[in-house]
């Protein structure tokens, strides 16, 4: 658990990056920090692993004041993923992933076996990618290695600064979905910085919306979208929040139509129950029939059919629930 108590950071030149910050990240919770450039997100994050020291206030990790901890020991407990992944160019993907466990004394064979497992978890076949060097990977693949490497040390806490920033929107959404599935199994306590509201909404159990150096709203995604706490948040969330709601509402929440096809034809495209309505709508827009099949991700069986009306009704319901 991470707890900020009235934390202020003033840089030597007089810039107040964050002022009187108080919030808590529960164990196993993923909190996203979102806001415009320069609002203090990165400063907040770097104070947790003591790359930056607060001017005043306290930060507690599992009840312990981190000011009293040895920074090196502290950083071993806290994984850190940054946008410019920082992989060692002269080490292979497998070696990069196994670096931290080996540093802290895990036998080489064991560290490598675990690294291979984690590469597999983030969707990189170790047999294909393990022996490659970072320059032989795409940006998205490098970011996956960054995530695998941070998880390899099995830290209870992860700090992630724009971890999916360097990739195009389609790959980004796929990485986010894979990461969410992974988080459901590993349940780390995560603080994730992004300037992208959609990413914050999709990934966060709760979101901290930053204004200039302060948190304007700290709440669940649906609350931030449905009931912005201040005019500033309303402006940041924007007029297109209906579209953003598509990204956070699962197909499973929609009313599905009967499987029996009206025109005698089976649906030609499918989405899984766990997919977002946004993904479903993108597919629907390409289907002349105006309907797509919905499958159970475990069995692969077709469980119903989604139509534009189904999407509309689900969105309407989501909006009423938030109001």
The binding site for ligand ATP (CB under 6 A) comprises: 11, 13, 15, 17, 35, 37-43, 195
Closest listed residue to residue 294, CA positions, set 302, 282, 285, 283: 302
Query: Read out DSSP for 11-26?
Result: -TTS-EEEEEEEEEE-
Nearer to ligand ATP, 20 or 178 (CB): 20
Shortest CB 5 distance to ligand ATP, Å? 19
Q: How far is the CB of 67 from ligand ATP (least distance, A)?
A: 19
Output the smallest distance, CB 127 to ligand ATP, in A.
Answer: 37
Give me the least distance between CB of 24 and ligand ATP, in Å please. Answer: 20
Question: What does the block give as tokens for 176?
Answer: 């986010």
- Whether 225 contacts 218, CB under 8 Å: no
Neighbours of 264 (CB within 10 A): 6
Minimum Å gap between C-beta 315 and ligand ATP is: 30
Residue 16 CB, nearest approach to ligand ATP (Å): 8
Indicate the residue among 41 and 142 with the shorter CB distance to ligand ATP: 41
Residue closer to ligand ATP by CB (options 115, 215) is 215
Is there a contact between 111 and 138 (Cβ–Cβ < 8 Å)?
Answer: no
**What's the order of all strands across the beta sheet hosting 270-272?**
270-272, 292-295, 302-306
- For residue 66, the minimal CB distance to ligand ATP (Å) is 18
Look at residues 193, 87, 205, 188 and name the one whose alpha carbon lies nearest to residue 137.
87
Pairing of strands 206-210, 30-34: parallel
Specify the residue, 38 or 156, whose C-beta has the smaller distance to ligand ATP: 38
Identity of the residue, 165 or 274, whose beta carbon is nearer to ligand ATP in the bound complex: 165
Q: What b/e string do you get for 195-205 counting C-beta neighbours within 10 Å, with b at 16 or more? A: bbbbbbbbbbe
CB of residue 44 to ligand ATP, shortest distance in Å: 7
What residues pair up with 272 in beta bridges, in sequence order?
Answer: 295
Assign 3-class secondary structure to 269-308.
CEEECCCEHHHHHHHHCCCCCCCEEEECCCCCCEEEEECH
- Measured from the CB atom, the residue of 15 and 136 that comes closer to ligand ATP is 15
**Closest distance to ligand ATP from the beta carbon of 12 (Å):** 7
Question: Measured between alpha carbons, how far is 34 from 166 in angstroms, rounded to an integer?
Answer: 17
State which residue, 130 or 163, has the beta carbon closest to ligand ATP: 163
| Pick from 4, 29, 6, 9: nearest CA to 212 | 9
Distance between start and end Cα atoms, the chain: 31
SS3 153: coil
Based on CB atoms, which residue is closest to ligand ATP, 213 or 304?
A: 213
Q: Which residue number, 113 or 212, has a Cβ lying nearer to ligand ATP? A: 212
């Amino acid at each position: 658990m991470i707890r900020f108590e009235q934390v202020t950071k003033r840089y030597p030149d007089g810039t107040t990056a964050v002022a009187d910050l108080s919030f808590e990240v529960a164990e196993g919770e993923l909190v996203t920090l979102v806001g415009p450039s320069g609002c203090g997100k990165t400063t907040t994050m770097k104070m947790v692993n003591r790359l930056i020291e607060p001017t005043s206030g306290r930060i507690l990790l599992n009840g312990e004041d981190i000011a009293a901890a040895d920074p090196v020991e502290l950083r071993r407990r806290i994984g850190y993923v940054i946008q410019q992944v920082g992989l060692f160019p002269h080490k292979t993907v497998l070696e990069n992933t196994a670096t931290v466990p080996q540093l802290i004394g895990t036998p080489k064979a064991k560290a490598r076996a675990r690294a291979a497992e984690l590469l597999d978890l983030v969707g990189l076949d170790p047999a294909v990618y393990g022996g490659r060097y970072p320059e032989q990977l795409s940006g998205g693949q490098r970011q996956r290695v960054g995530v695998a490497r941070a998880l390899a040390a099995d830290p209870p806490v992860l700090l992630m600064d724009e971890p999916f920033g360097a990739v195009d929107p389609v790959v980004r959404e796929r990485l986010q979905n894979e990461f969410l599935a992974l988080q459901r199994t590993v349940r780390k306590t995560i603080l994730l910085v992004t300037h992208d509201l959609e990413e914050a909404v999709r990934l966060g159990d709760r979101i901290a919306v930053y204004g200039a150096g302060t948190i304007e709203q700290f709440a669940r995604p649906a609350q931030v979208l449905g009931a912005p706490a201040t005019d500033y948040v309303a402006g940041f969330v924007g007029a297109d929040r209906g579209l953003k709601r598509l990204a956070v509402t699962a197909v499973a929440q929609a009313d599905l139509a009967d499987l029996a096809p009206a025109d005698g034809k089976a649906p030609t495209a499918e989405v899984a129950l766990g997919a977002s309505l946004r993904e479903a709508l993108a597919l629907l827009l390409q289907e002349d029939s105006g309907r797509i099949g919905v499958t159970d991700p475990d069995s692969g069986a077709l469980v119903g059919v989604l139509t534009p009306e189904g999407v509309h009704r689900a969105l309407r319901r989501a909006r009423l629930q938030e109001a």
